[in-house]
Chains A and B, each alone.
Chain A
């Protein structure tokens, strides 16, 4: 088979697809032969499957899937393998209805019959005694767990305490700042009024008022600096180190398990 023969057969095979599409496809393969060069003609035909049936089939399959808007039948995704031709609910194994209920019912019945038997009562007592012995061990385990959780809680408390302290400091600063501003302003006003009757005392009070006002404004600025710059940074720092600590715990736990 040569190039002419291949294209002729392809045209025949594609007779049932739209005229424009057929022309496009033939143009493409014609181009392809041109670009491959005459020396590669035989190789190209061989790679195309020896005859145009494969090329025609894959093109038609694409048409078919474009019509039904199903690009491919099966695909692997995070949900596992899915065949798009089969309805979704038919693919995942459904839980068997009623099976678990039956199971527990039988177990309950078994329990009742079990306690009727006086011989088995003794066995039950022995088991209970063993369980009591075991419970001491369980308590010990509980103690260890308590210790671990206590330690974790302590670390959490420390971190949150630190944050709260910074918050408190900031709030205190803000309170003093506002009080100083208000007080300073009031003092300045009072001093100005005093100037009318006693200029010397009035000026002194005005000056002191202005100093307090200035200190208040300085405090307010420092509060804003703490609230905007330091606090978020501190919170982020705490969070990062907390996460790192947990990672470290996990790592340790893994190595312990090994």
Chain B
């Protein structure tokens, strides 16, 4: 990837991925889903999840899965609001960049 993914964009992608399943999703699945959008190393995702958890954007809970504990992440109300903000900001930002880069700029 030529373009960097900043912390805010990474947060936005993770929030979007987690919000897709209402009952929450787990670390391995999140990594696989995020990787459909950006090439992220596995070691970068955990700190992001941890940070979002501390910022009350995600909440974690453990659930039994095939005789072992599995940690699930679920989006909170604050996280949903944050995601909403990211989505509208992204729409504006990406359309500006697209119009400049592809030259289809019109007033």
Q: Measuring CB to CB, which residues of chain A are less than 8 angstroms from any residue of chain B?
A: 21, 24-25, 27-29, 31-32, 34-36, 44, 47-49, 54-55, 57-59, 61-62, 66, 71-72, 75-76, 247, 250
- The answer to whether B46 touches A72 (Cβ under 8 A) is no
- The answer to whether A44 touches B42 (Cβ under 8 A) is yes
Residues of B near A29 (CB, < 8 A) are 46
- The answer to whether B7 touches A28 (Cβ under 8 A) is no
- The answer to whether A54 touches B41 (Cβ under 8 A) is yes
Residues of B near A27 (CB, < 8 A) are 71
- The answer to whether A75 touches B54 (Cβ under 8 A) is no
- The answer to whether A28 touches B70 (Cβ under 8 A) is no
Contact flag A35-B28 (CB < 8 Å), given A66-B51, A71-B7, A72-B6: yes
Would you give the shortest CB distance from B36 to chain A, in whole angstroms? 15
**Which of chain B's residues 37-78 have a Cβ closer than 8 Å to chain A?**
41-44, 46-51, 54, 68-71
Smallest Cβ-Cβ distance to B71: which chain A residue? A31
Would you give the shortest CB distance from A258 to chain B, in whole angstroms? 14
Contact flag A34-B70 (CB < 8 Å), given A47-B41, A247-B107: yes
Would you give the shortest CB distance from A50 to chain B, in whole angstroms? 11
Would you give the shortest CB distance from A40 to chain B, in whole angstroms? 9
Tell me the bound Cα distance from A75 to B49 in angstroms. Answer: 20
10 cross-chain pairs, A with B, having the tightest CB-CB distances, nearest first: A35-B28, A62-B47, A55-B43, A72-B7, A71-B7, A54-B43, A47-B42, A58-B43, A48-B42, A75-B6
Contact flag A59-B26 (CB < 8 Å), given A75-B6, A250-B107: no
A21-B50, A71-B51 given; name 18 further pairs at CB < 8 Å. Answer: A24-B50, A29-B46, A31-B26, A31-B70, A32-B28, A32-B31, A35-B28, A35-B70, A36-B28, A48-B41, A49-B43, A58-B43, A62-B47, A62-B48, A62-B51, A72-B7, A76-B6, A247-B107
Residues of B near A49 (CB, < 8 A) are 41, 43
Tell me the bound Cα distance from A187 to B49 in angstroms. Answer: 83
